Amino acid sequence: MDDVKKLLAIEEIKQLKARYFRAVDTKDAGLLRSVFTDDATADYRGAATDPSSGINAVPGNTEEIVRGGESITDGVMEAVSHLVSVHHGCMPEITVTGETSATGIWPMVDILRMNPGAPVKELVGYGHYHETYRRENGAWKIQSLRLSRLRVDVTPA
C-alpha cells in the first residue's frame, strides 16, 4: 500500500471513530451498528468502575466481553439510554497493517451524567481505546475495541 492510500485509510478510520462517538452520545443505534463488523468484540470491563469505591456506575455490559456487532450495539444503547454522555477522542495512533487491516490507540475522555436514582451523579473517565479495524465492502469498520482506564472520577449521588 502506498503512502497516499495509507493516509486515506487513516483519515477514513478517524471518521469512523468520530461516528462511533457521535452515535453513542446521540443514542443513534443504527449509526452505532454501522461502525462494527458482524464479528466485532468490545471489552468495556472496568470502564465505569470507580477504583476507590468499587462502584460500577454503568453495570451490565461493562462486566464482560461483548461479541458481535448487534450485541455490542444493543449493550451500549442499553448502558447509555438513561444518561447524558459526551465522548472526546483525540491524537490517535493509527497503523495500517495491510490493505484491509489496521490498529489504533485513541486517548479519550468521557463525561457521563446519570439520571436520579443512579449510584453516582456523574462519572468522568480518562483512558485509551485500543482497536483493530477491517475494511469490508470498501468501508473501514471496528473489528475489536478495548477501553482501558487511567482514571475514573465519580460524583456521589
For residue 136, give the CATH number of its domain: 3.10.450.50
65-86 tens-digit pLDDT: 999 999 999 999 998 888 999 9
Contact 66, 33 (CB under 8 A): no
Which regions of 7-138 does DSSP assign to beta strands (E)?
Answer: 36-43, 65-67, 83-89, 93-98, 101-114, 120-136
89-125 tens-digit pLDDT: 999 999 999 999 999 999 999 999 988 888 789 999 9
How far apart, in Å, are the Cα atoms of 121 and each of 57, 86, 146? 9, 15, 25
Domain span including residue 117: 3-156
pTM recorded for the entire structure: 0.92
Reported residue count of the chain is 157
Domains identified in the chain, total number: 1
CA distance 18 to 94: 14
